[in-house]
Amino acid sequence: MQNVDELLEYAVGSGYVSGAVAMASAPGRGTYSSASGTASRDGGRISDDTIFEISSMVRPILTAAALQLVDAGKLALDEPLGAILPGMQAAHRLAGFDRAGSPMLCAARGALTLRTLLSHTSGLHSGTWGDAMPRAEASLDISRRVASTPLLFDPGSRWHYGGDLGIVGVIIERVVGMPVADYLRDGVFEPLGMRDTGFYVEYSARRRVAGGWRGLASTPGETAFYSTPRDYFDFMRAVLSRDGCLLSSNSFELMQRNQIGELTVPKVLRLESVDVPGEVNFYPEIRLYPGTECKWSLGFMVSAEAVSGGPSAGSLTCAAPSSAYCWIDPDSGVAGLLFARRLPGCPDLVDALFADLQQTVYEGHSVPPPAEPRRRHVLERLFEGWSKESWATWWPM
């Protein structure tokens, strides 16, 4: 996979990312790691040991933790959540607006369950639960907040990326009787050797944080989540190999297969159809695989079709906006990730770099015919001849 080195060096040399780390594995090839550029302004080299803030990519990890409790018989996927958090019920859903613009409500059909939360079909939205992870007092008022905030739709009737996983964290805490951060450490991180992953970075490790330690999540309302490429790839390998130390075979099936049936995951953000802010259905993977139908498992976006020059149908993808992307291809046994640090003021092209990484990995996995010339990457075509000085002219720092 030597071409991965060239790809990252070209991306850094073009000046729109200051550093990037890629890791990939394929049957018979082991794990490949490549890094280029700097981790922070002080010029420290970026590596697979650099710590990144990847808050959105806690989703599969939190899903795995919840499914561990399902495996242990402490949770049930289709049990109404009121049985776990007494009094919690979604009584109403939004039915439209009257002529004066006031919301009209009707009784919600169906129950909120762990399955609807993990598959983003609950009808909850970001306003229902503000933080990505629970606070200490969360379980005291969460029932009132859910009951007083109407759902966008009946549970199970639509797919919408929203505020589901904060409640999953509260459920885990209620069942195990400890902070969710401690449970993730004991149930996921330590068994997989993920020593630099969690909601907090120890003082001694803060010098390794990409972009420098800030202490706050970059997205308002989120609780920061951190990991290194090396740590996160260990989690990916556990999912790819169905490592029994993490989950049962049945739970891996739930993480790796479509769990929303005929429901659709939007590939375009259509603001003209939005009536209230909570209906904005943006999710970090929305710009990936344009034109490819996608579904959702419990934890990952699932490609319903093969991606040209890339992953097979049934591949799993997770992303944190503009900073981290990963995919797992169970059919071909290929997995890969990209963690990148963007330069302030430069256009967001990390998703294009991720697409090029996938193409490069699959070209190396299946040897192309000798007579076929190497295809230029998207980035090469877009920015051929551009220098760092050119970037500084159009996107000054």
Rounded distance between C-alpha atoms, residue 98 and residue 118, angstroms: 33
Q: Six-digit token pair at 93?
A: 């859903």
Catalytic pick from 14, 56, 119, 303?
56
Cα–Cα distance list, 215 to 19, 224, 279, 345, 368 (Å):
21, 8, 30, 22, 46
User: Would residue 33 show up in a list of annotated catalytic residues for this protein?
Assistant: no
Distance of CA 333 to the CA centre of its chain: 20
Within 10 A of 240 (CB to CB), how many other CB atoms are there?
A: 19
Cα–Cα distance between 314 and 292 in angstroms, integer?
A: 12
For CA atoms 267, 242, 59, 365, the dihedral sign is negative
209: three-class secondary structure by DSSP: strand
- Record the tokens describing residue 326, joined without a space: 């990963």
Half-sphere exposure of 116 (CA within 13 A, CB side): 21
Cα dihedral value 325, 225, 191, 115, nearest 10: -80
- Residue 337's DSSP bridge partners are 23, 326
Write down the residue that tokens 């291809």 correspond to: 329
Tokens representing 103 are 């919301």
* Contacts for 270 with CB less than 8 Å, ≥ 6 apart: none
Q: Which two tokens stand for residue 213?
A: 């330690």
Q: Among positive and negative, which fits the CA dihedral 340, 345, 346, 349?
A: positive
Q: Catalytic amino acids? A: 56
